[in-house]
Amino acid sequence: MATLFKDVLITDGAREKARRVHMLVSKGRIAEIIDADKNPPSADKIISGHGKMAVIPGFVNAHTHAAMTLLRGLGEEAPLMEWLQNKIWPVEEKLTPEYIYWGTLSAMLEMLSTGTTCFADMYFEMDQVAEAVLSAGMRAAICRGITAGEPGKIEKSIQNNLDLAEKYHGREGLITVQLGPHAPYTVPLEYMKKICAEAKSHGLGVHFHFMETEGEKNNLGMSDEKYLEESGLLSAPYVALAHVVWLDTNINLPENFTLVHNPSSNLKLGSGVMPLHSWLEKDAHVALGTDGASSNNRLDMWEEMRSAALLHKGVNRDPLCVTAVEALRMATYEGARAFGFSQKGMLNEGWVADLVLINLDKPHYIGVNEENLAQYLVYAGSSADIEGTMINGKWIYKNCEFPTLDKEEIFQKAKEAREAITK
Ligand code: NI
């Protein structure tokens, strides 16, 4: 089935200027983009934009823990370690596979309605996450959060993560699997070496929390540069480092590294502000993520995009720092690239049709045009402007409905899970 976006504005993180076009989506891909003053191609379905609708690539949430929607609001206003040890970990012990399934679906409703087409998830019972993703037709990069604990636990987690990769990596083009060592303070260095060696031998990426807080940096026992070498991370096929608020900006990161900036979570947990400006000056790859719903507390990538664009201007006292187009690129293409999804995150002919339809017929878009669309979206817009979210050329969210998901059932089951774990 072909869908024509007739007379819409399009932009992405590689365009300084938007274009007014007809865009044809067919067989899951962007088949044709032509100027809006030309005759539109024919299609089964037509979305008539009349120049008052915009299309951008779907957001890629490059670091989250989706099922933590069930833990939202628990342990507010506490520092990271206190929050984890006293508020989060004890409740997480009560999570069953079934709860994680419904908690993940609940997160997916939230992400889809705010324009996210793909999310990078680190948690446990990841088979449940994979099944939730496949049932919806959403895209995800998944890893088992690996932590040490009672004897044998970490070995089991590593094997579990490798089994996950065996079963789901590449499934239906919707899922990639990474290895997910949780953080330096939960995974001893000897196991990091083992995990990175496994990543290398299986051709898998690594998704890791690194240098989130100053305390973590002080307790590392070596420089962060030395840690990257010693742990074997530098030889992993590709690496996504979440948070990196305290990562030494003198380090030269390899091309296959992506830093995942989580502005809201870092602000809420009082972790500090990642020196994004320095990393962008060094041409480091930076993507954006929400982190879990209990440390943000939103799974709204539009919000992260806007926060990233504003925060660093203020911190650096530089209005040119992090442009709207840069923020859009970090929220879309950079996340897809970071987790091994090719031809996603930009609106190019032949690329995959993972995209978001935005209604510009609202008072805060008066004055929008091809020259300023990205700036209007990032600074004036919000996810409330989203009309639809398309993945692989199919609507997964449209006009407040989720064609592939049973919203009422998900609400009910997620509520029951929440009640059970907080009893
Ligand atoms: Ni996290």
Residue range 164-182, pLDDT digits in tens = 999 999 999 999 999 999 9
Q: Give the number of other Cβ atoms within 10 Å of residue 302's Cβ.
A: 23
Residue 359 phi/psi, 5-degree rounding, is: -85, 115
pLDDT tens digits, residue range 182-204? Answer: 999 999 999 999 999 999 999 99
**pLDDT at site 79:** 82
Ligand 1 centroid from CA 359, angstroms: 32
pLDDT tens digits, residue range 345-385? Answer: 999 999 999 999 999 999 999 999 999 999 999 999 999 99
Ligand 1 centroid from CA 83, angstroms: 13
Ligand 1 centroid from CA 24, angstroms: 37
Ligand 1 centroid from CA 295, angstroms: 8
Which H or E run includes 316? helix 301-316
DSSP 281-308: HTT-EEEE----TTSS----HHHHHHHH
Q: How far apart are CA 119 and CA 288, in angstroms?
A: 10
pLDDT tens digits, residue range 33-69? Answer: 999 999 999 999 999 999 999 999 999 999 999 999 9
Domains, in order of start, for the chain: 3-57+351-398 (2.30.40.10), 59-338 (3.20.20.140)
Does residue 82 surpass a pLDDT of 90?
no
Confidence of residue 129 (pLDDT cuts 50, 70, 90): very high
**pLDDT at site 360:** 98
**pLDDT at site 87:** 85
**Token representation of residue 367:** 């004055």
The CA-atom distances, in angstroms, between 325 and each of 11, 58, 204, 269, 303 are 9, 15, 30, 27, 15
Ligand 1 centroid from CA 276, angstroms: 18
Ligand 1 centroid from CA 111, angstroms: 16
Ligand 1 centroid from CA 208, angstroms: 9
Residue 106 phi/psi, 5-degree rounding, is: -65, -40
pLDDT tens digits, residue range 199-218? Answer: 999 999 999 999 999 999 99
Q: How far apart are CA 119 and CA 108, in angstroms?
A: 9
Give the DSSP letter of residue 85: I
Alpha-carbon torsion, ordered 352, 34, 325, 399, to 10 deg? -60
Q: How far apart are CA 385 and CA 313, in angstroms?
A: 25
In the chain, what percentage of residues exceed pLDDT 90? 95
Confidence of residue 423 (pLDDT cuts 50, 70, 90): confident
Confidence of residue 386 (pLDDT cuts 50, 70, 90): very high
Ligand 1 centroid from CA 122, angstroms: 7
Ligand 1 centroid from CA 6, angstroms: 40
Confidence of residue 26 (pLDDT cuts 50, 70, 90): very high
Ligand 1 centroid from CA 209, angstroms: 6
Average pLDDT, the chain: 97
Does residue 75 surpass a pLDDT of 90?
no
Confidence of residue 127 (pLDDT cuts 50, 70, 90): very high
